Amino acid sequence: MANATEMKLMTSNALRTVLGEIAPAFERAHGYRISVSFDPAQRMLKRIAAGETADAAIISASAIDQLTEQGVIAPASRRKLARYGVGVAVRAGAPEPDIGSVEAFKRALLDAKSIACTVEGASGIYFSKLIERLGIAAEVNAKAVRRGGGLIAELVAAGEAELAVQQVPELLAVPGVKLLGAFPQELQNISVLAAGVFSASKLPQAGAALIDFLSTPEAARVFRAKGFEPG
């Protein structure tokens, strides 16, 4: 692929593991080399507002809708790819608290010595509101270990936090941690992953081909294995 044409993709960390498996097959089939930039959706929107562009974007449906309204994403190219929720992970081999009910979930957060979460990522923004709603914000914030974005479970794998809260596909992307499970249904926040081709893309056919490739039955199998519900 050294001499292949490079196409640029902007996407969230949630898609990291899916692309790790699917991208090589796409590159072999279509003759493009994917250059991927990972960032939380809010950071990505700021970069795009500052003039940055690419050939395709795969981020939250709300962000894709916003970019489509602004004329940044070609309307006809927009497509939903998958859904996914927020979960909790611990270091592999560590005790595994119950989070299966609202009360058990609250107790696990209160009992944990430290909790890693993001500041700018969608899961971190939601989690901050959730602990307020549950009436445990003061206790959780006092022991929260936060960073802007990225794979927050890396802090748990390194022993810098006891629990990690992030979207399930991002938790599954980190070696050395174990997914406890998704948030209880009553507390869950489902995100929709959507894709679109940049209106200014010099390789719109490449972006469209990638979106088509991610919509195949084989891609759906990979999405499921990585913590998503396709479609």
Question: What's the pLDDT at 154?
Answer: 97
d(CA 37, CA 188): 28
CA atoms of 132 and 136, how far apart (whole Å): 6
pLDDT at 40: 84
User: What local confidence, expressed as pLDDT, does residue 3 receive?
Assistant: 62
DSSP 35: E
Quote the pLDDT of residue 121: 84
Q: How many residues are there in the chain?
A: 231
For 68-90, how does the pLDDT look when each residue is reduced to its tens digit (9 = 90+)? 999 999 999 999 999 999 999 99
pLDDT of residue 197: 98
* pLDDT number for residue 2: 54
Alpha helices in the chain (DSSP H): 16-30, 41-49, 61-69, 102-111, 122-134, 137-142, 153-157, 168-172, 204-213, 217-225
pLDDT at 41: 84
> Residue ranges of the chain with pLDDT lower than 70?
1-3
Q: Which domains does the chain have, with CATH numbers?
A: 5-83+192-230 (3.40.190.10), 86-187 (3.40.190.10)
- Output the pLDDT for position 231: 85
Q: What is the per-residue pLDDT for 120? A: 85
Specify the amino acid at residue 153.
A
Q: How far apart are CA 175 and CA 29, in angstroms?
A: 29
Q: What is the pLDDT of residue 42?
A: 85
Q: How far apart are CA 183 and CA 179, in angstroms?
A: 11
d(CA 95, CA 110): 15
Q: Give 230's contacts (C-beta < 8 A, 6+ positions apart).
A: 81, 82, 219, 220, 223, 224
